[in-house]
Amino acid sequence: MNKQLLFIKRPQGEANASTWSLETNPIPEISDGEILIKQHYVSLDPAMRGWMNDARSYIAPMEIGSVMRAGSVGEVVASKNPKFEVGQYVAGTGGVQQYAVTDGKGFYPVDPKLAPLPTYIGSLGMPGMTAFFGIQEVGKIKEGDIVVVSGAAGAVGSIVGQIAKIKGCHVVGIAGGAKKCKYVVDELGFDACIDYKNEDVKERLKVECPKGLDVYFDNVGGEILDAALGRLRLHARIVICGAISQYNNKEAVKGPSNYLSLLVNRASMTGIVVFDWADRYKEGAEQLGKWMAQGKIKSREDIYEGIENFPETYNRLFSGEKMGKLVLKVIE
C-alpha cells in the first residue's frame, strides 16, 4: 500500500492539519514508459506555502486533491522505461507519498555511495543550487566583499555564506537564536551572526558592517530586508531569494520602505528562481560536492520520520525549530 498526503484545502495564513489528508491507496501498476520509485525521503521547503496559493507565480498552483508537491529521493523498484534501471537511486519532484509513479521526466540519478540520500534534496539538490547560482551569478560576489545573509542556519543560507567565505568575502549571517548563531560562526565559519530574535538587527549591522555591505542575500524579507537596505554601499547587490517572514500573511506583503537606498547607492535588487539554472545544475553539484569532500562546505540535514508527521514537521520551517535542511523520511 502507498501512504499519500493529499492537499485538500487552501490555507488562509498558516497551513494546518486541515490543509492535508493522509490516505492509503494500493501501489499503482506502471505502464510502458513509467517507473515506480520507493521514496525514502521528501524535502520540506518554505516555497510549499506559496504553491498552496491560487495565485500566479513561477510555477502553477497545486490543485486541490493532488498529492502534496515536494522534492524527493528514492529507489527505482520497477521500471518500464529504458532510461531507468531497478535498484537505481533517483531524485526529482515525487511528492509527499511513499511510492511515486512517473514517466521519469525531471528525475535524475544520484549515487548514495558519494553522499547520503538526504543530501541530494539539500546541499546537492534544489537549495544547494539556489545558493550556488544565487550568490555567485546574481550576487556577483568578489573577494573582499562584505556579504550579509539571512536565514543563515538554513538550507540555502548556510551554503550561501560558506561559498562567500571560500570566495574571500567577509560574511555576516542573521539567524534566530543564540544556538543557531553559534553554529553559524563556530561550525560554518561565518565571521559573525546576528540573532534577530534577541538583538536589534539594524544596530548590530552598524557594528558588524561599519562601512556598509556589498551583497545582501535575502531569505526572509520584511524588517530584516529593510535593515539591510539601510546599510548598502555603492553598487551593492541584493539577491531576493525568498521572504519567509511574509509567506503566512493574511494581508498584503510588507514591502521595504528603505528602497531609495537603491537609488542613492546605484544598487540593484534582483530575484532568483532556481529553476532558471537547471541546465547548469550538474556544474553546481560537482563543485559543491568537491568543496564538501575537501571539508570546505558543511552540509547538515535535520531528518524527521513518518509521513503522518508531515504537518508538524512542515511547521518547523516557520517556527525555526530545526537546524539545516528539513527532511522527512516517509518509508524505511
Ligand X SMILES: NC(=O)c1ccc[n+]([C@@H]2O[C@H](COP(=O)([O-])OP(=O)(O)OC[C@H]3O[C@@H](n4cnc5c(N)ncnc54)[C@H](OP(=O)(O)O)[C@@H]3O)[C@@H](O)[C@H]2O)c1
**Residues 173, 216 contacting (CB under 8 angstroms):** no
Is residue 117 a contact point for ligand X (CB under 6 A)? no
- Minimum CB separation of residue 241 from ligand X in Å reads 5
Instruction: Return the number of the residue (35 or 159) whose C-beta is nearest ligand X.
Output: 159
Is residue 272 a contact point for ligand X (CB under 6 A)? yes
Among 244, 267, 269, 307, binds ligand X (CB under 6 A): 244
Pairing of strands 99-102, 35-43: antiparallel
- Minimum CB separation of residue 121 from ligand X in Å reads 10
Judged by CB under 6 A, the chain residues 147 through 176 that form the site for ligand X are: 151, 153-157, 175-176
Judged by CB under 6 A, the chain residues 209 through 228 that form the site for ligand X are: 219-220
Backbone region of residue 111 per phi and psi (left: phi > 0; alpha: psi in -120 to 50; beta: other values): beta
**Stretch of 40-48, 70-78, 91-99, 229-237 contacting ligand X, by CB under 6 A:** 40-48
Among 74, 95, 125, 127, binds ligand X (CB under 6 A): 127
- Minimum CB separation of residue 206 from ligand X in Å reads 20
For residue 220, which amino acid is it? V
Instruction: Return the number of the residue (230 or 320) whose C-beta is nearest ligand X.
Output: 320
Among 169, 172, 232, 317, binds ligand X (CB under 6 A): 317
**Stretch of 9-17, 122-130, 227-235, 305-313 contacting ligand X, by CB under 6 A:** 122-130
* The total number of residues written for the chain in this structure: 332
Is residue 238 a contact point for ligand X (CB under 6 A)? no
Name the E strands within 33-190: 35-43, 72-79, 89-92, 99-102, 108-110, 146-150, 170-175
Integer Cα distance of 150 and 161 in angstroms = 9
Integer Cα distance of 164 and 216 in angstroms = 11
- At 274, list the grid cell: 532556481
Instruction: Return the number of the residue (304 or 318) whose C-beta is nearest ligand X.
Output: 318
Among 117, 163, 171, 274, binds ligand X (CB under 6 A): 274
**Residues 197, 176 contacting (CB under 8 angstroms):** yes
* 270: three-class secondary structure by DSSP: strand
Judged by CB under 6 A, the chain residues 46 through 75 that form the site for ligand X are: 46-47
Is residue 93 a contact point for ligand X (CB under 6 A)? no
How many Cα atoms within 13 Å fall on the side-chain side of residue 289?
A: 17
**Residues 101, 53 contacting (CB under 8 angstroms):** no
Integer Cα distance of 265 and 230 in angstroms = 10
Binding site for ligand X (CB under 6 A): 45-47, 126-127, 130, 151, 153-157, 175-177, 180, 219-220, 241-245, 272-274, 317-318, 320, 322, 325-326
